[in-house]
Structure 1
Amino acid sequence: MMATEAAGRKAVNEMSVEELVAKAIVPVKKEFMCPAPTRLTTDNQHHPPPTTTTTTSAPLIIDKKSKRQIKRERIQEKQSTRNLCPMVAKTGTVDSCSYNDKCRLSHDIQAFKAQKPADLEGNCPFDSDEAPCPYGLACRYLGTHRTDIVATGTPNEHKNSEVNGLKKDVQKLLWKNKMTFPKADTVLKDLGLMGPAKSKKTPEADDKEEGHTVSNDSLVTNENNCGDLNAQNDCCPEVCEKVEDINADDPRPLKRGKSLNDDASGLITETNGAGHIETDKSLKLHPRERKLIDFRDKLYLAPLTTVGNLPFRRVCKGLGADITCGEMAMCSNLLQGQAAEWALLRRHASEDLFGVQICGPFPDTVARAAELVERECTVDFIDINMGCPIDLVVNKGAGSALLAKPMRLKNLIRAVSSTVDTPITVKARTSYYEGRSRIDSVIADLWECGASAVTIHGRSRQQRYTKQPDWDYVYECTRKAPNTLQVIGNGDIFSFSDWKKHKSDCPQLSSCMIARGALVKPWIFTEIKEQRDWDISSGERLNILKDYVRFGLHHWGSDTKGVASIFGDPQNMLPIPQWDQIKISEMLLGKVPDGFTFSPKHKSNAFDKAENG
């Protein structure tokens, strides 16, 4: 085995630069390469490797910590002088904290000032004539503050240009698992996707799976009277009051409400000789009356996981992007009230056409998350992720794994679109495995299931982000799709020429989504709108980075934690290569903190299993 690996390394070393590039190997000179660390396990700690090994790096001993130890260290970190209580920092007085000695954060102002890093160059982005800086003593621009003004509001109150925050009362209900989802549960029940209907199929449920959806809020009764329905919370109080006025001596049950396919008026009329019930807007809209978004020829910034944060979207918006979408949010985390996941749904006032992307493996989870998002957030569309290739997502049955289960895929879209009135879009890859379970086999059904648009990334899950995208297959899917379904292409659009080529090769394409091309050069949107190739100067590039830093301070804050997020936190990267990122960040924000390391959040391009290529 060792001889084989040595032969492989020798073969790579003898390759030319062109051969290395052709094999997707970065040609880096030896003097710029760091030696790989040697991991010591329980087996080789007592039996070190042979002395013939030429490894010069120090051994890396992996020290795993228990959950209790991690929790204890986290509490100690909160109580350290580096974490001053926000109320104390804001007002500058120890008595301002209502928790007093019970507060878990530090109240030692002098100790905090002694270890606080030096102020950064420039002016505080929050301190103004209208309002003081909400971060007070913790602000890294403290020297520019006016001492005669004391902050009274909270940091979130100064983010009046951002919406879709998680309310505390909603979060508590989610934590206690007491949040109700009446619309989603009704739809799931009608579609046979919740409760006993999952394990025991009926002919009626099979018909529903074939596309015969049941209305969302229609009044349905069988042998139960209104009192039984009211006890089961299946009918609203207003309807119950009207039903009580009906002659109770009439033994006939109420009829089932008509669907909009039969009655286009949108009214449900129930008659039994003694009266009638009319309920407006109680049924799901017919597909012809569905609220739509016109994606045609609009510049769409892709929902870039871990890098498509709000400050970066603001940069792209200023450079010409028309449509923006938040980073992928896991439905299970949203339903658990995780603040970090809800932060991915935040929207800036400049994002006039904005959507959120959610991801989950099952119809019930995604439908409830969609209902919650529509209820608590202001969005123009909800995108369902069916293309994420990451093992952490795929192993749970979400992302691109849904392409291998077409019936679940259709039921998921059908459940979400029947639950919410917000337009639903889908983002998918060509297939899960190369040549199997391809998206063209279901694209004709996406419109009937409730999707308004579909984005097709021209790579399979097995390809990850390597090899060339198959745009011919994207064109084929576009021609197979119904005329009412908007199809958006995606894959390696790095210039205006790429955009123009794909649009001319397939005029049926509604638009092209721009992903990594925007990370390489955010000004690609200006190129496309002005129909020219544009190579901006170094000064213009630096101005874009300054805008990103300014937007980042407004979003993450001007305290030490907020500045660290802009530096290069794996979740919030600057749109530049990581080897230049730290140096340029230090030019704009000063020296990085001690012990700072950069590591990606996930290995999106990794081939750690045989089936991944």
Structure 2
Amino acid sequence: MVGTNLPPGTAPIKPEFLVSVQPRDVPDDDAAEGTTSHVNGRPDAAPGAGGAEEGAKKLSGAQRKKLAKEERKKHRGANKGRRFQKVRDEVELCFRIASGKDCEFGDECRFTHDVAAYLAAKPRDIHFPSPEDLSDKPPFVRLPDVEMAEDAEAPQTSLDFTTTCPIFQHTGECRHGLKCRFLGSHVQKKEDGQLELVVDEEKKARLAAAETELNFLDADTLKKIRTKKYPHPIADAYLKEIQQASNEQGGGNTVEASETPASSAPETPAGTQPIESVPAASDDAVDRSQDDTPDVPLRFVEKKRLHWAGKTYLAPLTTVGNLPFRRLCVDYGCDITCGEMGLAMSFLQGSKEEWSLVRRHPSEGIFGMQIAGSKPQLLVPAAEIIGRECAGNLDFVDVNCGCPIDLVYKTGSGSALLDAAGRLGKILVGMNKALGDIPVTVKLRTGVKDGKNTAHKLMPRLSSEWGASAITLHGRTRQQRYTKLADWDYIKHCVEAVRAREADESLPPVPIFGGGDCFSAEDYWYKMENYGVDGVMIGRGALIKPWIFTEIKERREWDISSRERLELIRKYAEYGLNHFGSDTAGVNTTRRYLCEALSFQYRYIPIGLLETMPPRINDRAPAFRGRDELETLLASPDSRDWVKISEMFLGPAPETWSFTPKHKSNAYGSEEGQG
């Protein structure tokens, strides 16, 4: 009898694979979603973050404001809380010299120019395995027997000429040169015994464009943004309009200049007239070549229409939804990808880390970026800069109205906008003006508090009044925990409310995606056929099994083998090295994000082990063994095993390296020195 000895809510694993009938501890996805700080384990524990009861009763408004500003500065940028130290070479070689170029700083350069000393101290090359080197039997990855040079005076004794550099393999040139940890793949000895970097000019000309990431901002542009010298005339004109409208209604208040980092435009006071009553500016198309002319771009009806019905959509995922992971999901059939949430404030401060979130790989067919902010004075100028710098390489900009974490919510961003319809309307209208023909989409939750769903009132206004080109609704409130299932009946109710408004006003329908708990092809297609949505946004399901997109496209549940899963991990490591770099720092950054991915993927229960189908995302897994040793290893909740898996592709982890996953229950290594 199925599940006879298993507690309710436990995954129905066949008895022959059970090690224990007691379910494992449930990973806390709420804590993982809210993870922003190593300090005290919770972001809302910090003074001034608004989490303690110290706030309103003990501090004046000015004091709370000052603390909030300090807290924002402290946590500037996305995902900065869990800090990971950068692992560097023992001897740091100048990157210009490493690339075979001259260094303009000469003897004053703070890095060494002594190539021989660098190579003598450099760790041995890492062997990157091919798919043919993988096996489901120990040691799972076959490494070659490499004969190292025995000449003690030769600096290149660490070279492995049998390895493969993923960057060189895909582009014909490795940008890290001598610093590459796979150096033997693209170097040769000259007659004098010195090393010479190899460049495959034919491959470089043929493949480099297909592998070159898009939406890079150069240092000069970032400096202009950071020093407030980057013009955004459309935003300035729009902000002036809403301020004038506010003054006419008796508001008249302005924000302090220090709170408006990219413009002196004032903040619209709370409670002023909704955006639809604000006089519209000129509808003339913007001339992007005239930086100082505040023309207004295309009307909403002239925006690019989004034809997304039936397409698969990977949710924007903070930390784990990075470019290598998105590439992986695209390989398995994902149609629409969205970058990690970025903060408008940090974009306007010229944060290099924040601007890296808009990078796109050429394989991403439909790509957008997600932005969070609390007011038009932040979001509209940021949108204008993004629209100019990413023109042609950005398919949509998504406004985050669903982020539940305290650090975002208590600044008025994320899900706080659900209770600020007037301000949200001003934001969307302004962003539509500033972005030209790039569509604006919105991701939101059902409401802020449990039992008080409000999305059905807000969603019809998003497209009909404020120009949202697509809407995604996560079927949970901000307050609701992941242990409660998403409310798909309410999602259907919201879809019907939007469609009724569109029918009444003869408006073209916008795509509406639902989200929450989708974990199988059967579940996906059931939701598509019964809840009126145009698609289902997938988040945790893709983190646990990135091949879910293949299952959806082929309408089947894939009993993927352990070797196929190991090949997926190899591919992730390859994409990580291409993105983060193949030098020591890049290798260990890749290791960190690979372990982040494994901290979700271990939760996958092979469907060949289940007594009933389909699998459910919230079922707790008892301890089980796989059908082979590799499948058992891939199911380990021990982060030491995740690091062991990373070492199959990225070499031994440095002694100083440590890892704290988003689910912090099983960290690896020491936290010393991480801040």
Q: Structure 1-normalised TM-score?
A: 0.71
Choose from 109, 113, 122 the match for 1:107.
Answer: 113
Tell me the amino acid that sits aligned with residue 367 of structure 2.
F
* SS across alignment from 1:137: helix
Return the index of the structure with the highest Cα Rg: 1
Separation (CA, whole Å) in 1 of partners of 2:474 and 2:197: 51
Separation (CA, whole Å) in 2 of partners of 1:337 and 1:527: 40
Question: Residues 385, 207 of structure 1: CA spacing in aligned structure 2 closer, same or farther, 3 A cutoff?
Answer: closer
Matched-pair contact (CA < 8 Å) for 2:418–2:447:
yes
Matched-pair contact (CA < 8 Å) for 1:183–1:216:
no
> In the TM superposition, what whole-angstrom CA distance separates every residue of 1:342-371 from its partner, at most 9, and x where no partner exists?
111100111121111111111121111111
Matched-pair contact (CA < 8 Å) for 1:77–1:83:
no
* SS across alignment from 1:356: strand
Instruction: Return the offset for 1:82.
Output: 3.7
Choose from 66, 70, 83 the match for 2:92.
Answer: 83
Aligned to 2:451: 435
Aligned to 2:7: 18
Instruction: Return the offset for 1:210.
Output: 3.5
Instruction: Return the offset for 1:28.
Output: 5.6
Question: Residues 200, 435 of structure 1: CA spacing in aligned structure 2 closer, same or farther, 3 A cutoff?
Answer: farther
Aligned to 2:441: 425
Separation (CA, whole Å) in 2 of partners of 1:101 and 1:395: 50
Separation (CA, whole Å) in 2 of partners of 1:194 and 1:89: 58
Question: Residues 477, 129 of structure 1: CA spacing in aligned structure 2 closer, same or farther, 3 A cutoff?
Answer: closer
Separation (CA, whole Å) in 2 of partners of 1:492 and 1:189: 43
Separation (CA, whole Å) in 2 of partners of 1:283 and 1:214: 9
Separation (CA, whole Å) in 2 of partners of 1:130 and 1:456: 40
TM alignment of 1:437-516, pairs within 5 A: 438-447=454-463, 448-482=465-499, 483=502, 484-506=509-531, 508-516=532-540
Separation (CA, whole Å) in 2 of partners of 1:520 and 1:77: 27
Instruction: Return the offset for 1:299.
Output: 0.5
Q: Does 1:124 align with 2:165?
A: yes
Matched-pair contact (CA < 8 Å) for 2:416–2:448:
yes
Q: Structure 2-normalised TM-score?
A: 0.65
Separation (CA, whole Å) in 1 of partners of 2:244 and 2:575: 43
Question: Residues 20, 294 of structure 1: CA spacing in aligned structure 2 closer, same or farther, 3 A cutoff?
Answer: closer
Q: Does 1:192 align with 2:240?
A: no
> In the TM superposition, what whole-angstrom CA distance separates every residue of 1:516-541 from its partner, at most 9, and x where no partner exists?
11111111111111111111111111
Tell me the amino acid that sits aligned with residue 27 of structure 1.
R
Question: Residues 396, 603 of structure 1: CA spacing in aligned structure 2 closer, same or farther, 3 A cutoff?
Answer: farther
Instruction: Return the offset for 1:487.
Output: 1.4
Matched-pair contact (CA < 8 Å) for 1:360–1:399:
yes
Q: Does 1:409 align with 2:424?
A: yes
* SS across alignment from 2:400: strand
Q: Does 1:581 align with 2:578?
A: no
Tell me the amino acid that sits aligned with residue 200 of structure 1.
G
Instruction: Return the offset for 1:290.
Output: 2.8
Aligned to 1:215: 281
Separation (CA, whole Å) in 2 of partners of 1:525 and 1:485: 23
Separation (CA, whole Å) in 2 of partners of 1:206 and 1:453: 26
Q: Does 1:360 align with 2:357?
A: no
* SS across alignment from 2:550: helix
TM alignment of 1:38-49, pairs within 5 A: none
Tell me the amino acid that sits aligned with residue 334 of structure 1.
F
Question: Residues 112, 20 of structure 1: CA spacing in aligned structure 2 closer, same or farther, 3 A cutoff?
Answer: farther
Tell me the amino acid that sits aligned with residue 518 of structure 1.
A
Instruction: Return the offset for 1:218.
Output: 6.0
> In the TM superposition, what whole-angstrom CA distance separates every residue of 1:117-169 from its partner, at most 9, and x where no partner exists?
2211131123369844221221111223232544799x9x9685211011222
Instruction: Return the offset for 1:314.
Output: 0.9
* SS across alignment from 2:443: strand
TM alignment of 1:597-608, pairs within 5 A: 597-600=658-661
Separation (CA, whole Å) in 1 of partners of 2:456 and 2:177: 56
Separation (CA, whole Å) in 2 of partners of 1:374 and 1:525: 30
Separation (CA, whole Å) in 1 of partners of 2:116 and 2:458: 65
Aligned to 1:526: 550
Tell me the amino acid that sits aligned with residue 330 of structure 2.
K
Tell me the amino acid that sits aligned with residue 431 of structure 1.
G
Question: Residues 558, 211 of structure 1: CA spacing in aligned structure 2 closer, same or farther, 3 A cutoff?
Answer: same
Question: Residues 476, 158 of structure 1: CA spacing in aligned structure 2 closer, same or farther, 3 A cutoff?
Answer: same
Question: Residues 404, 82 of structure 1: CA spacing in aligned structure 2 closer, same or farther, 3 A cutoff?
Answer: farther
* Gapped regions of structure 2 (runs ≥ 5): 12-21, 27-39, 41-73, 75-82, 128-162, 191-195, 254-267, 286-290, 503-508, 603-636, 666-675
Aligned to 2:178: 137
Aligned to 1:397: 412
Aligned to 1:52: none
Separation (CA, whole Å) in 1 of partners of 2:241 and 2:479: 36
* Gapped regions of structure 1 (runs ≥ 5): 1-15, 30-38, 40-66, 68-73, 220-232, 237-281, 605-613
* SS across alignment from 1:210: helix
Matched-pair contact (CA < 8 Å) for 1:383–1:426:
yes
> In the TM superposition, what whole-angstrom CA distance separates every residue of 1:364-385 from its partner, at most 9, and x where no partner exists?
2111111111100120000011
* SS across alignment from 1:347: coil
Aligned to 2:19: none
Aligned to 1:314: 327
Matched-pair contact (CA < 8 Å) for 2:251–2:272:
no
Question: Residues 77, 398 of structure 1: CA spacing in aligned structure 2 closer, same or farther, 3 A cutoff?
Answer: closer
Q: Does 1:338 align with 2:363?
A: no
Question: Residues 17, 337 of structure 1: CA spacing in aligned structure 2 closer, same or farther, 3 A cutoff?
Answer: farther
* SS across alignment from 1:325: strand
Aligned to 1:71: none
Choose from 553, 556, 566 the match for 2:590.
Answer: 566
Tell me the amino acid that sits aligned with residue 501 of structure 1.
Y
Tell me the amino acid that sits aligned with residue 472 of structure 1.
D
Matched-pair contact (CA < 8 Å) for 2:231–2:292:
no
Separation (CA, whole Å) in 2 of partners of 1:332 and 1:129: 36
* SS across alignment from 1:385: strand
Matched-pair contact (CA < 8 Å) for 1:79–1:106:
no
Separation (CA, whole Å) in 2 of partners of 1:594 and 1:432: 44
Instruction: Return the offset for 1:196.
Output: 6.2
Matched-pair contact (CA < 8 Å) for 1:367–1:412:
yes
Aligned to 2:229: 178
Matched-pair contact (CA < 8 Å) for 2:246–2:252:
no
* SS across alignment from 2:7: helix
Question: Residues 585, 80 of structure 1: CA spacing in aligned structure 2 closer, same or farther, 3 A cutoff?
Answer: closer
Aligned to 1:551: 575
Instruction: Return the offset for 1:191.
Output: 2.7
Higher alpha-carbon deviation: 415-424 or 578-587: 578-587
Question: Residues 167, 235 of structure 1: CA spacing in aligned structure 2 closer, same or farther, 3 A cutoff?
Answer: closer
Separation (CA, whole Å) in 2 of partners of 1:79 and 1:531: 46
Aligned length: 479
Separation (CA, whole Å) in 1 of partners of 2:293 and 2:545: 54
Instruction: Return the offset for 1:511.
Output: 0.7
Matched-pair contact (CA < 8 Å) for 1:164–1:346:
yes
Matched-pair contact (CA < 8 Å) for 1:84–1:109:
yes
* SS across alignment from 1:442: helix
Instruction: Return the offset for 1:286.
Output: 4.1
Tell me the amino acid that sits aligned with residue 135 of structure 1.
H
CA RMSD of aligned residues (A): 3.6
* SS across alignment from 1:433: coil
Tell me the amino acid that sits aligned with residue 460 of structure 1.
T
Tell me the amino acid that sits aligned with residue 530 of structure 1.
E
